[in-house]
Every structure is written in structure tokens, then in C-alpha cells.
Chain A
């Protein structure tokens, strides 16, 4: 009853004063710089991107509304689109699985050490703090025709060379490069999570006769599963947007065997100036990110334990 009474009272006041009651004005002062920036460079672009994807704007002239035709063109007539889609999904799945497996393995290995844990962490983390372009450049030299890898393969008399010119192997080269650049963050993340597993749990299990293998699968892994889940989701989101490595190493080639959604957005938008069409691709990428994230949240019920 009392609540109803105050509510009525409040409604009789002028709207603006009610809104800024208490510390509203102070809060507005503190929030304003951020709000202006976020509106101009985040909210407005999101809205503009939706609107643009329904136009055929080519940067010059006025945009014309074309309904869903960008999207129908993408899914039905664009000969490249399904290749790009397949490349992106292929890259993400292979990269994600290898990244999580390798970084978890390294994290467990590092946490088994008595000394020097932090220096090993720094070593594997170094590429994370290196511009991805510089990373891509050095791996491009390793993979280039007549480069280090070819020379190594020749010495082992293995039958492949010119990886970056090979339709099936070029993507593998990009994945290796991305792994080198990217596993460091997850390694440190998982290592930190493993550090937080209470030693008493492991000690108790050891006394009960659990093997190291059992202690890993039954105690440590379940206890770090929330972190593992977090790392997996974040890695998936970033890998669906892969761009820098591809721009430097392959330019989407050979053919379009390494062209991904991120590269397609750049190509259509800033080389062909098809802003509308590129925006439609961006929304397909967003849908893919949301779908994969939703899938992971659905799967987490099966393997992530929050009851620690």
C-alpha cells in the first residue's frame, strides 16, 4: 500500500526531475563522455550496419533500399560465399580444438614444475604481446617457397613444398601461425586456474590412492572447467573473426582456399566498395558467433561444474 502511495506521488512530479532524482545529475556528468563515445562509435554503427545491409550502397551516390537481396545473393548466387563460410568454420573448429588441447597440456605441464613456472609462462606468452602482423610475417618466411620448411622437408625427403601455394595446406599454415600466436593467453589462463585448485583436495585424493591420471580427470579438470569454458568461448569468438594472418600470409588464396568471413568483409567493403553487401556478410558473421556461443552454453551443462 505504501509503495503504491509513493508511486502515485512520484508520478505527479515533472518527468525530468523524477529521472534525475538523487545523484542522477552527478551520474550523468560522470557517464557523459563515455555515453557520447559509445553512442557515436558503438550504438550508431550497430544500427547503421543493420540498415546498410539492406542497401546496395557502393560508397558513392545514395544508398538504395534493396530488401533482403544482399542476403539472398549471399546464400544463393555468390559463388564464393559457401567456400568462405566453410573456410571460416573449418578454421575455427580446428584452431579451437588444437588451441584448447595444446594450451591445457602446456598449462598442466607448467604447473607440474617445481621451479621456473613463471619464466615458462612468459615464454609461451611472448607472441601474445607481439603484433600479429609481425608474427604472420615471420611464419610467412618459414612457409615461403624455398623457405625453411621446404628445405627441412627436402632433407627429410618428404613430398611437399610451397605450402602457402597449396590449396589444402595453406589453411594449415595459417592455423599453425595462429596457434603459435594464440596459445599463450590460454596457457597462462589455465595455468592460473590450476594454481587455484586447493592442494588439500589433491593431497586427500592421493592418500585415497588416486593416480595422477585420476586426479587430473576427476579433480583438477572439473574444478577448472568454468575457466576452460570461458577460454573456449572467448577463443571461438576471436577465431571466427580471423583476419590479420590471412591478409599478410595468403590474401585469401590460393584461389579462395583461405578466404574467411573477416577477409571477405574487408575485400567486399574496402576493395570493391560494396558497403551494403559487406555489411550483410558482417551480420552473417555475427549470427555465426551467436550460434556458436549458444551451442557452447548449451553444451556446458554436460561438462562444466560450478559447484566448487
Chain B
């Protein structure tokens, strides 16, 4: 810079103004949900006896992690502007495939695990393929997959094993090592921590890195914000969406293997309705239903709120007849608080 250079233009582009750390924080999509989570935590810490014990914390984290593992890819998919209604039963499918392949072929449990991964990714790929080729709304496509999978889970299981639940594979080779990976637990300071918590945190970290640090992350925001504009600047919209659906497939595989290796027998009718819980967790975590906005950390916090609420009600020993009502009210309040904080943040920035 030379001495003759003009002084800095005072009214320079506002997008280049360095934001204060506080303002940066307020603009984060998960801020509202973090405030909501703190509120829910404080609430149950006061009203529920035993909520603050270490052992209880392990239980709450486990409940949150089983939702959270699926809420992460569902959140990414929502940021990319799509839904997946088949995510709940896909978890059951992943568990059933794994169990039945191992049992029917009398193969090592890991063989079933590998085939299950392929099937889960395949279902995600199918969703993405049908969606991008037919341009049908994801609501219809994944509703179709949801119904087909529900029927396949029941029909195929009964056809192959003769009953509606799978046979036990606990006595088969490879079961123990697979259980160690998907369903083990350790005790830390009185709290039993399940390995699903590690999977959950790991997936959140990976998803956050993808969203914020990679080109693919930019593509996700772009296709969710405006798919046509994204395509115009060269974003491979179809590939991005298909990969997002395969991400849901991958996490459903992890979730399904946990289900199988912790209970070793799978009921074929399970999982229906869970897809909504994953979507709810993502929405509480600040993902916009219309796409283009949200975060993986937010979805994790959303799952955590869900875990705290559903178990907090038990710790508080409220009348169980009102369980669903309390759950609904807590969720609504958390989401409202989240929306309010976001609005305040947008108004001050």
C-alpha cells in the first residue's frame, strides 16, 4: 500500500464487515435449540427427582443417541430440501436383512452386516434415483418406499423364517465382535454409556465437517436453497440428493445393527412412526422444513431435547396417561423458543 492510496471507503460492502463474535453466535442455526435444551434441562433438574444423577445422564444420552444417529442424515437431507419418510422402517429393514442373511446362510454375522449395508445404501440410492428421475415430490417417493419396506419387512420375514420375528443369531460366529462395535457399553463414573453415543457424536462431527468445510457441503445448502440456481452454477443437483439419501441409508444401517446386536431378535413390525421423530428432532434443531438452512449440531441438540423430555417425564413420575400430552407440549415449547431466539437473532444482525 502506498502513501497516496485513498483512505478506506467508509461505506464499504456490509457483507465484508467483520461480525462481532456475539453476532456470529446469534446467527448460528442451532442457537435456538441450545437455549431450548438448556431450558428443558433446567426444568427437569428442578421438577424431576434423580434426573441429575450420573446414571440417569447415561440413560438420557442413550435415548438421545438412538434418535440422534438418524436425525443427523435426516437433517442434512432437509437442508438439501428433501424429506425421507422411509427412514424409520429402513432401520428395521437393515436389522432384518442382517439377521436373516446370517441365519439363513448359516454365515458369519459380519456377512449379514455387510449385505445389510449394501441393501440400506441401495434403498437410499433407489429413493434418490426415483426422486431425481421422476421429479415427483420426496413426500410421495419416500411414502411409497415407506409402505413397500413395511410390507417387505413383514412379508419377507414371514416367508423366509416362518414367523414374524427373526430367529436368534446370538450363538453364531461373529456375533460378539459385531456386538462390540454396534451395541457395547462401558461404565464411566456410575453412568452406563452405550457405544451408540460414540456413533452419534462421530456422525455429528463428520456431518458438520461436510457441511461447513467441504464443497459437497456447499452443494447441500445450494440445492436446498434453490435447486435451479444451483444447477445453473454447475452444482450436480441429482448426485447431491442421491448421496444425501444414501447417507440416510448408511445411518439407518448403523441404527439397525445396533437394534439387532443389542436384542439379537428383531420384530418385523417395528420402526413405523420413528421417521417423524427424526424429522421433529431436525426441526427443533433449527432445520427449516423448506430447506437450505440448518445444521447437524442442531439436529443433535434436537435429539437431546427429545431424549431429555421423554425420559424426564419418567423421572418426574408424572401420570403416564398424560405422557404423550406432556411430550407434545414440551416439544412445541422448545420449538417456539427456538423460533423466537432465531427471530431475535435475525432482527439484531
Chains A and B belong together in one complex: no
